[in-house]
Every structure is written in C-alpha cells, then in structure tokens.
Copies of this chain bind each other. A is one copy, B any other.
C-alpha cells in the first residue's frame, strides 16, 4: 500500500478520481503506469471495476471504486454527554452511525473501554463478515497534542489531562490510531463537502465553542492548539470571569453552556444546547435574544480572523448551528465590519456534512494513515 499505489488508492477513495484517465491526470503519472498499478490494486482486491461512467465526448471511462471488502474504519466523536460512533468503508462512506449517551467524566480508561466495546458491537452487528478493521479514530472535546496523541489541559474533561489516548487505543488495536480534537475533525469532514474551497474556518457551536482551520486544503494544527477562539476577549457591558482565569472570554458569553446558564438565571431551565435551539424555534424571546447576542459576539471575533486568514468560507456546525438567528447575526457582524476585499467572495453557511462531519473527517485522516 506504499508509495504510488497508496496515492492512487487515496485518489479513488477520496472521490477525486473515478477512472484510470482521471488518476493519470491527478497523480501526474503516465497513463501506462497508472494502468499497471491499477491492475495490481485490482489483483490484491483493494480496487474494483464497476460498470462505466458517463462519457465526456469519447469512450466511456471504466469506473473504479475502492472495494467494499477492502476494509473498515471505526470512528467516534466523543462529546461531554453523548458520543457518535460509526463504521466507514475505506472510501469514507458510513455503513452505520449511532449516537449513544456516555459520560467522559468517568475518566479516560472507562470511556475508552466503553468506546472499544461499542466498536466491537457495531462490527458484530453491522460489519460484513471477512472485512478487516483497518483503523480506529476518535474526536476529543478538548486540545490534543497531535504528535503524542495525548489530551492536553482540557477544560471540561476531568481526569483526562495528559492521558495518552492514542497509546491506550493502540495497545488494544494493532492498527493505525487517530486521536484529534473534535472541531479539527469536523473541519476536515467539511472540507470534503466544499470542493474548490481550500481555506476554510469551521466553527463548532455546541456546549463549547471550537474552531477547526483548513489552510491550503489541509488541517492547520499550528503547534497543536490552533483554532482556539473560545478565550478571546469580547467587548461587552458586563464582566464575567471565565474558567481560564481571564475575564470576558467569548466562551463565557456565547457558548451553549453559557446560554443555558443565562437562561436558567431567567427561570428557563434546559438540559442541553439543542434545547436552546428548540426554545428559539418555539419563539421564546429570551432565548432568541441571547442567541442573537451570542451570534454578534462570535461574528465580531470572526471579523478579525476573516481579515487575517481571508478564507473562502466560514462553515458553522455543532448543535447550535440550526438556530437561524445565530447564523444571521454572525453574518451581519462579519459583513458589517470586515474589509470588502475579504468578504467579497466569502460564504458564511451552515454545515454541509451534517452531524457526522467529525466522523467523516476522522475517516479522511485515518485513510491517510492507513494508506501511508
């Protein structure tokens, strides 16, 4: 699976190429070499030829696909109280996705064991027999050091600090293991849904506020902590001290958790961020006003970043992203205050990849590891 062969397989798996001719164009190899390699890949059962594609004026291409029996990826997206778990084939297509309640406060060992048990269960019930598991990946709602696969100073994951998640999973699975921040995975997942957009900011608005950054088509990690916008100081009348020790952090005003506690103070008790959206859709004026103000604050922070990064699109996901007032007030703030040059072709939109974005992103990154 090494070298040129991996490249070709990757191009097919990611949907960038569907025929030998496309592979030749995209890989830069000669058409003859592509044919040779593809023949080998079909021989080893990783690729299959499946009917023919649509003609572009000449002979129809013979469509190539990654074999459904080539392997499976087990991926998860851990949240504070819920996790999404799924199985993907090597082209990143989900076979099954489930959301289950869990509690990361139980600590890393227990949570990861539960995750592994859930994977085993999914494989038993939904995994086609004989298809091998080829990689395991999970998103974490906190900072992750990409090199070591450790959780680093998470703010809301008691007991996880410095825990070697990748190592722990690696001991159980003798396979490529991926551990990455959840917003980063979301960003990678969205990136595939935004072809032609090489620079993307993906905002995850849920209990917390996360952001993943795609630069030049690839996930930008910086030194590991890139994309953090939750502890930016915002301009407000009041003054709130955030858990990070500073005052007036964005997170303290605009995160799902902050909205819920503000609503509780007003006598409206809710259980999870999605309930805030429900309240907004039910026309609860307090909820709508709070969400609007959160959107404005988020938008004001984004103006700085839009001028600086000049992305093609801002994509908003997470459980709050279905609140229309949030999106429109973010849009208003960004378009009002950013440079025309930066907003001229800027799209601000909700997630295209949907709630499985992080799982798809995990699949995408795992594929690279598997085909390394």
Contacts and interface: CB of A to CB of B under 8 A. Distances in A.
A308 B221 contact: no
A218 to B, nearest CB: 7
Interface string A66-78: 0000000000000
Contacts of A152: 341
A351 B301 CA distance: 28
A215 to B, nearest CB: 5
Contacts of A231: 307, 339
A341 B224 contact: yes
A229 B307 contact: yes
A155 B141 CA distance: 43
A340 B305 CA distance: 20
B308 A229 contact: yes
A232 B304 contact: yes
Categorize the interface residue count of chain A: 35 or more
Which of A223, A224, A301, A305 has the most chain B CB atoms inside 10 A of its CB? A223
A222 B338 CA distance: 15
B227 A308 contact: yes
Given A304-B229, A310-B224, A216 B218 contact: yes
This protein's copies in its complex: 2
A309 B201 CA distance: 11
A213 interface: yes
Contacts of A312: 223
A303 interface: yes
A222 B304 contact: no
Interface string A329-364: 000000001011110110000000000000000000
A213 B308 contact: yes
A177 B222 CA distance: 32
Contact of A220 (B232, B301, B309): B309
Given A211-B308, A308-B213, A225 B341 contact: yes
Interface of A: 143, 152-153, 199, 211, 213, 215-216, 218, 220-229, 231-233, 235, 244, 246, 300-301, 303-305, 307-312, 337, 339-342, 344-345
